[in-house]
A = this chain, B = another copy of it.
């Protein structure tokens, strides 16, 4: 209850300075940044505004001793990933931060991670709040997407292909190793750790998918659970070829069970999962070569009348998974989810 008055004002000035160092690169959409009651953005009549908020809490979304630079990166990245999933371009973000005490070394590192990613996407900090409290980071990100071009979860059509970007499961493979759920050799761990700590929001891909993808979302809680959101919003079923999920060499070296679990259910991937008509395959294969790997992992099928959307899993040979295997994969095994 005891306040350290000047201290948290100082923290805020610290972020203001970081934000101003980006000012010369700020887009002309920001009329007024930090320092007034509100930030002001310039409207663009051709664009819709995409808005997303995520809160990260110590002990739930990150370890208590988490590297502050990674944390600054990740707190913004998970929000930019939501913008990417709509096909939106980042415009700016607000930061609300509760900190147990003002630790200048922590703040310096946190803001380095935060502003490096913000700079990369020309997405300035435009406002927010700092306060004393248990370490909690809440970011609201704003983006622009041409009116009518936003990629929603509700647009998947029967016959569409299901695609996923990049590789799945490495973040979960890293987390499990850190938590001694399984063993991982040192070089493999080093290779997968960045996927857990510094996910790359797929913003360029999201923008390229406008007019191509019929639906999209970002994979934050695990592919199969997240894909279900598309099925529900679009009222369709799906078949997924579980052994075609794209995975890294490190994950490919694990047992079939772990491989499938991490890839299908891992969480924290921040890849895009999207659907597109089969007529778009050539365009997507070209994009896969030019930008980042895109893999076709299944297809959208007809809904069952009156029933909940169903997700059917097939193995490498196209055979249905046994009920037990399927059950395992459709139940989450993750205690570290971001909901």
Contact = CB atoms under 8 A, between A and B. Distances in A.
Contacts of A47: 43
How many copies of the shown chain assemble into the complex? 2
A273 to B, nearest CB: 11
Given A37-B82, A134-B136, A147-B43, A53 B339 contact: no
Nearest to A55: B96
A38 B82 contact: yes
B86 A40 contact: yes
Interface stretch (A56-64, A160-168, A184-192, A284-292): A56-64
B336 A1 contact: yes
Most B CB atoms within 10 A — which of A3, A54, A85, A129? Answer: A129
A95 B336 CA distance: 21
A78 to B, nearest CB: 10
A5 B130 CA distance: 29
A3 to B, nearest CB: 5
B51 A127 contact: yes
Most B CB atoms within 10 A — which of A1, A9, A126, A143? Answer: A1
Contacts of A143: 38
A153 B98 contact: no
Given A52-B37, A52-B39, A140 B59 contact: no
A138 interface: yes
A96 B82 CA distance: 15
A220 to B, nearest CB: 9
The 4 A-B residue pairs whose C-beta atoms are closest, nearest first, are: A57-B133, A55-B96, A45-B45, A138-B138
Given A32-B150, A60-B132, 5 more contacts: A1-B335, A36-B153, A39-B50, A43-B48, A51-B127
